[in-house]
Structure 1
């Protein structure tokens, strides 16, 4: 196994492929690495954020159908552009907003925090264990041969993305299918995670200011997960 990359080198070498930029020139991502996480830290920050996120979702959906919310509508359009059916494979923001109206799941401290920030700021947001990555993260259009580890009927299975599908991957295989639809098991967050990697995705009409605000909220929440937490970030995908 190769030596893991330092957070600085990891962030510097993450990239968005030109084929994805051509598909959606308005796409940007804020990448955040958090180190020094205490796995024993209380999840109370996540509990409070989830309560706020659930209230936010109910307020949004009282005024608009979920598929008419501006950023969710933009992601539905992006999914159609690479051949996905948004009614069948909902982007993570739409799936969470729908679920938040009745109550978000509690998974673990890190996941609870980023799910809540995603709903509160209406930005797709995913998190993974940085120590389980092999090489940097790249957003590409799949060839269809890349392995993706997931579960079916409680068993681990290997799937493959559709050719042309937008996926995040590392040197081993796909880490997240359909841009921000479903994350793989191999790099998933757990109670043992000490270094986490987060991806915040935006399309127009969301702005860089919206992206920065969501990132700042995430960093603030993560700071409660131990006295040694430190973060670094990089914006990618801009022209």
Structure 2
């Protein structure tokens, strides 16, 4: 087990007021998990991904991906801070578009949260908390914040556009364009034992649907170790509320 105080870390997490000014309907559920037994993709994670792929194909048989209610809402949110959603797709849309040919198999932690994202049609990110510097914070960037990524096989530092919505910690940006691309530094790895999962919601997704997705994710994560501990926090506008796991 790590020495990270999950409840304290979540209590210090913030969504800045300018983000809520952009989208007052935004809510985020933060899930911090410790005691995970890491590993490569396995049969259980593959089975879950197959179920997600089938669910995605059924949804897309009925309507194009950009017309799905939550995907459309995120496209509007991206346009509101100047991003072009047809070029930089939110994580949910990107996964849904890959379902026809097969979603990626990365490691079992990443596989689980990708599958839950598609099954519940909610953008969902995962971060390695052992590589975090401070608490998570969602802000509108100044443009000076560092974002470490990979370019041509080497680590490179980029910067968000001014006004872009980004997740960050004390060391820099951890995810650009709300839920588009993660930093290399905090990605889940095969040796991750302590993780932060970020579940994003806009209308028409309800708080209950957000909690249902978190419950589903928690249920699968608790199978990944005999001593898994989970803390949960829901942040909404204009004030934050804390709910126990």
**TM-score of the alignment, normalized to the shorter chain, above 0.5:** yes
SS at match of 1:185: coil
Indicate yes or no: 2:243 matched with 1:218: no
Q: CA deviation at 1:154?
A: 1.4
Q: Which runs of 5+ in 2 are unaligned?
A: 239-245
Taking the TM superposition and a 5 Å limit, the aligned residue runs for 1:9-48 are 9-40=8-39, 43-48=42-47
What is the TM-score with the length of structure 2 in the denominator?
0.94
Q: Is the 8 A contact 2:92 2:117 kept in 1?
A: yes
Q: Give aligned pairs, total.
A: 236
CA RMSD of aligned residues (A): 1.2
Taking the TM superposition and a 5 Å limit, the aligned residue runs for 1:58-73 are 58-73=57-72
Matching residue of 2:134: 135
What is the TM-score with the length of structure 1 in the denominator?
0.96
Deviations 1:61-99 (A, max 9, x none): 000001000000000000000000000000000000000
Query: Could you say if the C-alpha distance between residues 162 and 214 of structure 1 is closer, same or farther in structure 2, counting changes exceeding 3 Å?
Result: same
Distance in 1 between the 2:234 and 2:47 partners?
A: 28
Distance in 2 between the 1:35 and 1:23 partners?
A: 33
Distance in 2 between the 1:40 and 1:181 partners?
A: 25
Distance in 2 between the 1:42 and 1:157 partners?
A: 27
Taking the TM superposition and a 5 Å limit, the aligned residue runs for 1:87-236 are 87-236=86-235
SS at match of 1:61: helix
Deviations 1:6-36 (A, max 9, x none): 2111100001000000000000000001110
**Greater displacement, 99-108 / 73-82:** 99-108
Distance in 2 between the 1:42 and 1:117 partners?
A: 15
Query: Could you say if the C-alpha distance between residues 64 and 40 of structure 1 is closer, same or farther in structure 2, counting changes exceeding 3 Å?
Result: closer
Q: Which runs of 5+ in 1 are unaligned?
A: none
SS at match of 1:140: strand
Q: CA deviation at 1:48?
A: 1.7
